Structure 1
Amino acid sequence: MYSAGTLATVVVGLVIPAYGLRRGVPGARGLLVASGVVTNAFVLLSEALRPGGDLVRAWRALRRGSRV
């Protein structure tokens, strides 16, 4: 539940420029690199390293659920 928003943002941020690249849209390669490398890396790092980040909370919930 916690990771759904973050992962959906990353996936959509990669799929749309990849589709544009496949269709031959000018500038799609640059958008794919910028979106994939820069934006998504920052999103994932901020959510994984921040104590209140969604990915940290998801990992904690998974770890708690496996002990039951």
Structure 2
Amino acid sequence: MNDTATTLGLFASLAVTLCAIIARFWPRPKTNGAWLQLYLLVNAVAQNGGHATNAADVAARKS
């Protein structure tokens, strides 16, 4: 296997993992400044489109 591809894959996995951990504990900023842009970037890298909600949690809140 290509060592460069393996290294890039490991760094990508590390970035997603770290962003997911950060997104778990970071509340959304209230203002539309640089912090909001960074928050959105972290959530995008973490692939946190649902903001860590489970389907059962959302259904429970709606009823």
Same fold (TM over 0.5): no
> Structure 1 or 2: larger helix share?
1
Structure 1 length as normaliser, TM-score? Answer: 0.42
